[in-house]
Structure 1
Amino acid sequence: MALSGDFYINLAVVVVLILLVGAFIYQTQRKNRRARNLTIGLIIAILGQAVYLVGIILNLDASGLLIIKHVRDFIFGIFYFFIFLHYEALSKERPNTLLSSLFSGFLAIFGSFTIVLMLVPENQLMIDLTRRTANFIGLGIFMYCSYLNYRTTKRVKEWESYLESIMLSLVAFAHIIYVLGDNYLLNFLNVLGGYEMLADVLATVGTFVYVLTYLINPDYLYRLPIPIYQIIIFNQSGLPCYNREVYTKGLERPEIDEMLFPAIITAISSFLSETMGKKAQLKHIDASSKQMFINTQENLSITVIADKGTRFLQKSIKILNDLIPKDLRDDLNASDTKYKPYQETLDKLVKTAFPYLKIKD
């Protein structure tokens, strides 16, 4: 049985996605990191592609292959939704409720159309509605993710962000072609094998670029596209036992009084303890242009000063606190401890929790 070019394109996508999932799992094991939304989404995408490849290998008739293709498209719609959640986690503390509801609603409609199409495979109306819904979901999500990444790329001048922009732009443009083709605006492309082939190639190239970015620099997965200025660790007495100015790679860092912020945190924490009890914990201070995020575990509190909060930032702060071993915690809380000998050890822990940060010497 001779296999079509479409089969090999989809097989290449499966191989690329498997490589990417492998890279993410490796990073998780190596650095105790989590990129849950992206990893789950990629596994779902592999499942969708595998379903379609099986349909081609089984040499299904045109009707059966069409159903399989729409099932794959629905599975990819779920994958796109996880892509959306990933970029939301990078840029915000919680997903946009309106957009999440909108995309979830479209997915529910898409799923309903797919089920009807499986029951009535020859229904041309369902075929058209299913295809259009799939392409509009992809277009909306990748245009939005391109916008989020564009805001970062304007500030972060590094090659990885440019590659990511290329990937998102290619996939978004592929979905523009899908949408235009669905509305019979690209009939002239039929001489080139149809608009779908062109869009598939663009999406595949974009996926390869995405994988290339993470294979060359695996730590890029954990880049925080926001300026982080300072990391301070307080012991249970409220004394700053670690205080480092840091800067995000690719972002300029304004000068900040390194003694002022620890004094502010200590004063506010003492006030809370005296007025609300020792169990009262300060977690967030919004100072307009700067924000402070505080994670307290056992006998240490970690404060990070940044432009704004994102879900990835909160996770990274917690990871840092989890990484500090008990014996080091006890040493930092001892009354006669000199903190300087521990700075190098704490620097290493900070770099593990924040792979993309640079510590100012």
Structure 2
Amino acid sequence: MADINIIISSIFLGLFFLLFSLMVYQSIRKQRKAYLLTISLFLGSIGGIISIFDIIRDSLGIQHRYFLFLALVIASISYYLIYLFFEQLIEERPNRIRLVIASIFLFSSIIFNQLFFYFAYYSNIETSYVKAIEILWDISYDALGLFIFIFGAYVHFKSYHINKEWIPLVQAISLIFISIGFIFGFLSDVISLSIPKIGDILKIVGIVAFSGVYIVRIDYIYRLPVNVYFILIFTQSGLNIHISQTHLVSEEVDLDVTEKQYDEKLLSGVITAISNLLKESLGSREQLEKIVSGDREIILDSGEIATCAILCDRSTFFLHRSLVDLRKSIEKKYKLELTKTIIHKADFIELSTIIQQTFPFLVIEEV
């Protein structure tokens, strides 16, 4: 059994190190940063190393299994970071209810982990109480993983529903595999079924499939599970530079929005007027960041010489990050052109290319 454990732990270790290394490489090469996912893979690598130390502890002259408990604490933190990454895919800020639930599972897992270790090795407490603590630890640990990866599957199923692409569907299925792995792990611990290795195998398969997509196509980190309708670029004085309409594949797209002709000057002028009203008349010191209606949002990012705006269903963390990247790229490339008194659109002929590079999974159509 020890040999099997070493093999599985070695696979986890090698897998996480490979995924972490490739993720860092692709992030640098493509300038697509996903810090939480990358850190979670790094922690998974550290947890794999520690779990191997637990397996060979006898040869090291160590009696207690603290390496195992520490590895599982690190794994819990790694899963929690993955949960936060899933929140970034679908929300601008984590949903409070889901955040509270995930946090309760995380801290419960860590607390019961340490309590069980203490009572099992350093206390004379009755065996029944120790067993109860162990069950609570198993429940909280497996519930944490199950909650996180079921939520991740929901996010990717939603992305598939909107974008009609097979890759989010593959990722959703891979996350279901990981979730089932946690169910098997729970059953093997609580009901003493001899199926723990099946759970580990399902987790390995799911992790490889899910992370492999991001490693091959790092741009998928910025894939948006929300509808985006147009991208607008204008100067700080309100002069319109460019407007692009996005072509959406979803059957649920509101055709009244996507087929509507936009008045470029009106859009940029209204946004600039609202921003100036807040600053000059109402004393606001901050830039206008968002205009919200019941089912639509215009999110904005303003720099020293340019402002970028997006009309979408709602903002997400990565959508906002892409908007910031777009504005910075435009200000860097067109610094001289944007400061001229008279703006010539012919000076900005490469804007469509920059927008497409920043939003690689949106089909861009100039209006």
TM bracket (short chain)? 0.7 to 0.9
- Quick check: 2:162–2:227 contact (8 Å CA) kept in 1? no
- Residue type at the aligned position of 2:337: D
1:354 aligns with 2:353: no
Within-5 A mapping of 1:82-93: 82-93=81-92
Can you list the C-alpha shifts for 1:242-275, whole angstroms capped at 9, x where unaligned?
1112246778764243433651341242254256
CA distance in 2, matches of 1:10, 1:330: 56
2:15 equivalent in structure 1? 16
Q: How do 1:185-204 and structure 2 match up within 5 A?
A: 187=193, 194-204=194-204
> 2:292, 2:45 → 1: CA distance?
41
1:277 is aligned to 2:283: no
Residue pair 2:181, 2:199 contacting (<8 A) in 1 also: yes
Equivalent residue, structure 2, for 1:323: 329
C-alpha contact 2:230 2:310 (8 A) present in aligned 1: yes
Provide the identity percentage. Answer: 24
Q: Which letter maps to 1:198?
A: I
Scaled by the length of structure 1, the TM-score of the pair is 0.87
RMSD: 2.7
Deviation at 1:4, TM superposition (A): 1.1
- Letter paired with 2:353: K
1: distance between equivalents of 2:208 and 2:268? 46
Q: Match of 1:166? A: 173
Aligned position for 1:191: none
The residue type equivalent to 2:317 in the other structure is R
What are the Cα deviations for residues 122-156 of structure 1, in whole angstroms up to 9, with x where unaligned? Answer: 54443333223211211122222222222222222
The runs of 5 or more residues in structure 1 that have no matched partner are 188-193
Specify the alignment match of 1:53 in structure 2.
Answer: 52
- Alignment match, 2:126: none
After superposition, residues 96-111 of structure 1 pair within 5 angstroms as 96-111=95-110
**Distance in 1, Cα, partners of 2:120 & 2:346:** 71
Which of these residues, 178, 181, 184, is aligned with residue 188 of structure 2?
181
Q: Structure 1 residues 119 and 216 mapped into 2: Cα distance closer, same or farther (>3 Å)?
A: same
Secondary structure of the corresponding residue to residue 349 of structure 2: helix
Q: Unpaired segments of 5 or more residues in structure 2?
A: 122-129
Cα displacement string for residues 270-294 of structure 1 (whole angstroms, at most 9, x for unaligned residues): 2542564196632211233321111
Q: How far has the Cα of 1:228 moved from its partner?
A: 1.4
**CA distance in 1 between partners of 2:60 and 2:134 (Å):** 16
| Secondary structure class of the residue paired with 2:23 | helix
- Contact 2:53–2:67 (8 Å) recurs in 1: no
Residue in 2 aligned with 1:288? 294
- Residue 137 of structure 2 corresponds to 130
Residues 228, 311 of structure 2: 8 Å contact kept: yes
1:169 deviates by 0.4
Once the two structures are superposed, residues 4-43 of structure 1 have per-residue CA deviations (whole angstroms, 9 ceiling, x without a partner) of 1222222222222222222322233223332111111111
Residue of structure 2 equivalent to 1:39: 38
Matches within 5 A, 1:259-274: 259-260=262-263, 263-274=266-277
1-side partners of 2:22 and 2:327: how far apart?
Answer: 25
Letter in 2 for 1:296: S
Give the conservation status (yes or no) of the 8 Å contact 1:63–1:121: no
The equivalent of 2:127 in structure 1 is: none
**Letter in structure 1 aligned against 2:5:** D
* TM-score, normalization by structure 2: 0.86
Residues 1:342 and 2:348 are matched in the alignment: yes
Q: Is the contact between residue 239 and residue 269 of structure 2 (CA under 8 Å) also seen in structure 1?
A: yes
Change (3 A) 1:142 1:151: same
Given that 2:13 and 2:45 are in contact with CA atoms closer than 8 Å, whether structure 1 keeps it comes out as: yes
User: Which amino acid is the alignment partner of residue 244 of structure 2?
Assistant: R
Cα distance in 1 between the residues matched to 2:26 and 2:328: 17
Aligned to 1:231: 231
Matched, 1:313 2:319: yes
Paired amino acid for 1:241: I
Check whether the contact 2:135–2:190 (CA below 8 A) recurs between aligned residues.
no
The structure-2 alpha-carbon separation of the partners of 1:259 and 1:332, relative to structure 1 and needing over 3 Å to count, comes to farther
How many residues align? The count is 352
User: Kindly tell me: are residues 304 and 163 of structure 1, through their superposed partners in 2, closer, same or farther at Cα, counting changes over 3 Å?
Assistant: same
Q: Secondary structure at the match of 1:257?
A: coil
How far apart in 2 are the matches of 1:113 and 1:271? 53
Give the secondary-structure state (helix, strand or coil) at the position aligned to 2:308: strand
1:332 aligns with 2:338: yes
Q: Deviation per CA, 1:225-247, whole angstroms, max 9, x where unpaired?
A: 21212111101221111111224
- C-alpha spacing 1:9/1:247, structure 2 compared with 1 (3 Å): farther
